[in-house]
Structure 1
């Protein structure tokens, strides 16, 4: 079980200054207190902020994750997706129960991955260190963050491959298809350390 940790002051300031994201976090806290907003929305918001760019969520995909090993039929994920779509219809929602990722994720060999045991473990497998960040609003109004690689790469504008699951080739395909280096010119691609 993840223990809430104090969020980085810079990240908290950036999130709290983004009205749309804060509204999403507040609503999500009401309907599913264990769910986190994660991945691209956090990464893109911070990188845009650090580049002096405005980050607008309209027509953006927002990833929401939670962990519930008892939700065998994915009813809860469907419910969350429906509720979020109704409340925020101009956003594309990707709601995923990390307890069942192993059923559909395949390694390059075609084999399934082992079942995951937590959100922390799930994030630790994501392709880039700066993407492996999840945030949610606690009932007391504090923000909680899960960042297995920390926030140094995110705020240091470092695009670093996490080799825990995906190949370097897949990582580079993501770098190119998402146009990270074109969108944020001050990013540093960390090739080898």
Structure 2
């Protein structure tokens, strides 16, 4: 599995855009060069039309503005196709207003390159990568398939990484930094 300090892999995936455009069926492409110069949060979920996944996706979507305020884009990725993503958005009430794009890793190339493919299940683990503007991984976490993650914690980590300071345990934006 890729870790902190590694270069995030190159990719080019079909995408259901966030916002109202995503509900129109006009697919786009998202690549590692999309949104150049920005921080990126790339989070993987196992499959569409499941139970834990939409709780996480909706929570990330609700924080899209907060991430954007930090010059950070959020990409959600699963092994499902763009057609399945679109169908899920159209038929899941909480996903209709989703503000983040859903990327289709149907060949499992990105999840394999990141090392987060659960080989027994054939799906991506619940992995989260925070990538700096130079494409370097600055944070990675992986949850078991049955356990959802905390997008608010990912936002806190982005704040800490962007501060370029020493941040103590449970540090939040506005708190004091450690002084050496």
TM-score of the superposed pair, with normalisation by structure 1: 0.29
Task: Identify, as 1 or 2, the structure richer in helix.
Answer: 1
By relative contact order (CA 8 Å, sep 6+), the higher-ranking structure is: 2
